[in-house]
Structure 1
Amino acid sequence: MWLYVYRVVMAYDLELWFIRTVLFVGVVSSLGPKLAMIRKMTNDLLLFIIIIVIFIFGYGITSRSMTAYGTFDLDGRQFFRNIVYPVYYFVLGKFDDELAQLDITPDVNTTIATQVMLAFHMLIVNILLLNLLIALFSNTINDVQTQAYHIWAYDRCAFIRDFYFQPPLFPPFRFLIWMVEFLRWWWHKCKNDDKNTKCFKMIPEIPYLDNEWSEFERFSTNDYIRYVLDSQIYKAANTITPDIS
């Protein structure tokens, strides 16, 4: 029993590892924006999943209550096998088994009601919701495409920063690096030395860019402070009510 559990866990872990290796493609300027598109499209897909789950449970439970009442037990495995999975495959266009099952007793009132519900379900899910999802994907792709280079640059910087702070050894040998880091931190803590803190800093390839970045940060800070002060003065002026009497 536990052997199968371990096998399933390792299989899912391997799948997640393969998915995570896609991040290494993000350092390529031509492929990095595509990963940003996938990430933003995943957010749209999550909203779509919430809506589609409601329709899946709605049609699955009501249709089985009319056509398959008492034919299976309502435990977890049977519930997903007979209600959730068949209705989910409607989204992929696989509904021949559903029609074949309804054609066994075509003149029964519950079968006719289920066919009407199936037509309504296919109209909403396979036409309306899927086209809505495609429209959301198109909008996301257009938004990312207009700022592809900047998105790639920021994602590449975040990717490098993430792996900069990662231990050089792979699991399960990372605890050795953590022990060394802890001893090093404890040693500097005893010496009251906080100068050896590990930090990430971007170094420009062209030397004069460092000065330009510093000037840009200074001007941006001044503009933000001026904006905050002006906002406070404006709010203070609006809160003062003149005494007409």
Structure 2
Amino acid sequence: KVYLSIFWNKLDTLAIILFILGCILRFLPINQCFCFARIVLAIDLCIWYIRTLDIFSAIKRLGPKLVMIGEMIHDLKFFMLMLIVFILAFGVPAYSLLDGIEKHSWHMPRYIINFAYWQIFGELQEIDQIEKNYELSGYVMFFLLVAYMTVANILLINLLIAMFSNTFDRLHSDTNCIWKFQQYSLVCYELKRPLLPPPLIIISHIWRIIIYMFSHIIKIKWFYMKYIEEKNQAKKIKINKILTKQIEEIEDAFGHEIYFFSLKNNQEQIDSNEERIYSPQEISSNKIKTLENQIQIIQNQQSNMFQYFERLMNGIKKIGGNDIEMPK
């Protein structure tokens, strides 16, 4: 139960089962089984590609985006329930009016959904048949199409965009907190795993089996100590579920309080800095300081120039200009 409580572990289990099933069907001497094996292995490959998204949880910019995608998929489930209702409400009557009486076929649901679903994205393939039909069924089809395109293409699509925007804005402010929790979960998960990576992980499993056999069957003391050490390392403290829930709620409350308090202090500091920079008093004092600095620079230049003139006159006197009178 603990292993399957993690989404990625469920995905691993499904992918491994599909891979084994596809390999078994692949080597059965039946042509139909070979076709089924290709389908199963194709779906399995798609799952393995999706499984690689777990690597992004270690990246600060991409990790919170995985949480956003998960929440958006949760929103998409409720949206698809509403969309299916409108697809069936339009597709079944439109198909009956457009094609008339036909023999029953299991391919009919696919045609109905295909006809109604792609209308949302502008694939109006049947519009020519509706335009040429001036009978009562054609007018009914026309009004059904107008109502369906108005509801599905304008109302529902914009509703989905608004739901996604709300989810993104709600999670975007907590991206730093989400990534830290992801880092913590990743570290805890990796600590429970063996040291060697796949496919060398089989060596770690064989070593665990050897430790168990030599500690319980042959009863060697050194292997028994190793077994106790690994068992204590993987041991978990079992407490009451109600107490666990209370502790988690208290931790979440304190964590969010500290987090938002730090955000508030940072925002107040930023606002105070902006007010100090852009207030009129600060602007006037800055201008005065700038003017004083410029005056000081001019005075330094004047003193340097007087020193230069004094040295120049002393040099002229040494050359023979004793009759030159200095200005008083």
Provide TM-score, normalisation by structure 2: 0.53
Task: Please report how far the alpha carbon of residue 108 of structure 1 lies from its aligned counterpart in structure 2 after TM superposition.
Answer: 1.6
Residue number in structure 2 paired with 1:152: 179
Task: Please report how far the alpha carbon of residue 72 of structure 1 lies from its aligned counterpart in structure 2 after TM superposition.
Answer: 5.2
Residue number in structure 2 paired with 1:131: 158
Residue number in structure 2 paired with 1:91: 120
Contact 1:33–1:152 (8 Å) recurs in 2: yes
* CA distance in structure 2 between the partners assigned to 1:200 and 1:89 by the alignment: 54
Q: Identify if the C-alpha distance between structure 1 residues 6 and 174 changes in structure 2 by more than 3 Å, giving closer, same or farther.
A: farther
Residue number in structure 2 paired with 1:41: 72
Determine what percentage of the aligned residue pairs are the same residue: 24
**1:117 aligned onto 2:144:** yes
What do residues 29-54 of structure 1 show as CA deviations (whole Å, max 9, x unaligned)?
A: 11111121111111111111111111
**1:196 aligned onto 2:196:** no
Q: Which amino acid aligns with 2:108?
A: Q
Task: Please report how far the alpha carbon of residue 149 of structure 1 lies from its aligned counterpart in structure 2 after TM superposition.
Answer: 0.7
Unaligned runs of 5+ in 2: 1-31, 218-223, 237-246, 255-328
**1:103 aligned onto 2:112:** no
* CA distance in structure 2 between the partners assigned to 1:151 and 1:63 by the alignment: 47
Task: Please report how far the alpha carbon of residue 71 of structure 1 lies from its aligned counterpart in structure 2 after TM superposition.
Answer: 3.5
Q: Which amino acid aligns with 2:35?
A: Y
Q: Which has the higher contact order (CA 8 A, sep 6+)?
A: 1
1:97 partner SS: coil
Higher Cα Rg, which structure? 2
Q: Which amino acid aligns with 1:100?
A: D
Q: Identify if the C-alpha distance between structure 1 residues 93 and 180 changes in structure 2 by more than 3 Å, giving closer, same or farther.
A: farther
Alignment of 1:1-245 (within 5 A): 1-71=32-102, 73-75=104-106, 77-80=107-110, 82-94=111-123, 96-104=124-132, 106-166=133-193, 170=198, 181=208, 184=211, 194-197=228-231, 198-199=233-234
* CA distance in structure 1 between the partners assigned to 2:126 and 2:186 by the alignment: 47
* CA distance in structure 2 between the partners assigned to 1:158 and 1:47 by the alignment: 29
Higher helix share: 2
Q: Identify if the C-alpha distance between structure 1 residues 199 and 57 changes in structure 2 by more than 3 Å, giving closer, same or farther.
A: same
* CA distance in structure 2 between the partners assigned to 1:174 and 1:108 by the alignment: 71
* CA distance in structure 2 between the partners assigned to 1:200 and 1:122 by the alignment: 58
- Provide the alpha-carbon RMSD of the alignment: 3.2
Contact 1:29–1:152 (8 Å) recurs in 2: yes
Task: Please report how far the alpha carbon of residue 199 of structure 1 lies from its aligned counterpart in structure 2 after TM superposition.
Answer: 3.5
* CA distance in structure 1 between the partners assigned to 2:138 and 2:193 by the alignment: 59
